[in-house]
Amino acid sequence: MHYFVTGGSRGIGAGIVEYAAAHGHHVAFTYVANAAAAEASKLAAEAAAKEAGHDVQIRHYQLDVKDPAAVEAVSDQVLEDFETMEVIVNCAGVNRDNLVVSMADEEWREVLATNLDGPFYVCRQFIQTLMANRFGRIVNISSIQHEGGTGQANYAAAKAGLHGLTKTLAKEYGRRGITANVIVPGFFDTDMTRETMPQVNKDYWKQYCPMPKGRMGKVSELAAVVEFLASEGGAFINGEVINVTGGLGWTV
């Protein structure tokens, strides 16, 4: 199949790119600023595909998902390069934490624009191709903070909105053979959590996550769920919120 993954240069997105390639899928993925990381992700995916005996096409594209004109231009280019697309994964995301009382307009807008507007633009753009194919799998990456998290009003609002967008897509396009689901990751070891996750949340996770030593998730464990949703096993799963949290779906 053909995958389009936003935010595939690092972290969870890079894990999804590599896993998909290793399972024989062609992958177009995006980054916003980190060209070196995007190239490293591409090379890792190509190596994984080769090791598994697959000959696949992997390409990266610079894209700021906040910009609808750029989303249109990149999706057109992707469709020219790959000719079709079947699996759309909205993984690009940022956080700009602050308490509501101190949150600047820019912090609010940046997170809403990246984490909610972006997936909307991407889905709107590719839905025509998926409809034409009468097949599509949309997977939107949320967060346990969709239920609210201290200092994360912007992030929580964006992720909760992503659930509404996804469930609507499921209802509007299910009849056309397109499923749309949300994955809710717990805590995974990525730049985002390493650089910005408050210590209080890390301590809480370690203490209460019912996994050995309260471990964080591995990106391959998240990527495997995306692969499942794109496979026959996911064909009748539509409009669902799937927790991949190790059993701890709540934070402070």
Ligand X SMILES: NC(=O)c1ccc[n+]([C@@H]2O[C@H](COP(=O)([O-])OP(=O)(O)OC[C@H]3O[C@@H](n4cnc5c(N)ncnc54)[C@H](OP(=O)(O)O)[C@@H]3O)[C@@H](O)[C@H]2O)c1
The residues annotated with a catalytic role in the active site are 155
Among 2, 3, 10, 123, binds ligand X (CB under 6 A): 10
As a three-state string, the secondary structure of 196-235 is HCCHHHHHHHHHHCCCHHHCCECHHHHHHHHHHHHCHHHC
Among 125, 143, 166, 201, binds ligand X (CB under 6 A): 143
Instruction: Check the CA dihedral 139-12-65-154 and report its sign.
Output: positive
Choose the stretch contacting ligand X; rule: CB under 6 A; options: 6-14, 47-55, 166-174, 201-209: 6-14
Does 165 sit near ligand X (CB under 6 A)?
no
Residue from 58, 28, 63 nearest 44 by CA: 58
How many positions of this chain bind ligand X (CB under 6 A)? 31
Question: Is 148:142 a contact under the CB 8 Å cutoff?
Answer: no
Gap between the Cα atoms of 70 and 75, Å rounded: 8
Angle at 145 between CA 19 and CA 220, to 5 degrees: 15
Residue 195 CB, nearest distance to ligand X (Å)? Answer: 8
Residue 57 CB, nearest distance to ligand X (Å)? Answer: 20
Query: Which stretch of DSSP H or E encloses residue 44?
Result: helix 35-51
Among 75, 114, 129, 166, binds ligand X (CB under 6 A): 114
Choose the stretch contacting ligand X; rule: CB under 6 A; options: 48-56, 60-68, 98-106, 205-213: 60-68
Torsion of CA 222, 227, 233, 234, to 10 degrees: 80
Residue 246 CB, nearest distance to ligand X (Å)? Answer: 11
Does 141 sit near ligand X (CB under 6 A)?
yes
Among 3, 19, 31, 126, binds ligand X (CB under 6 A): 31
Does 252 sit near ligand X (CB under 6 A)?
no
Angle at 18 between CA 154 and CA 205, to 5 degrees: 45
Does 75 sit near ligand X (CB under 6 A)?
no
Note the residues at the interface with ligand X (CB under 6 A): 6-7, 9-13, 30-34, 37, 63-66, 91-94, 114, 141, 143, 185, 187-188, 190-193
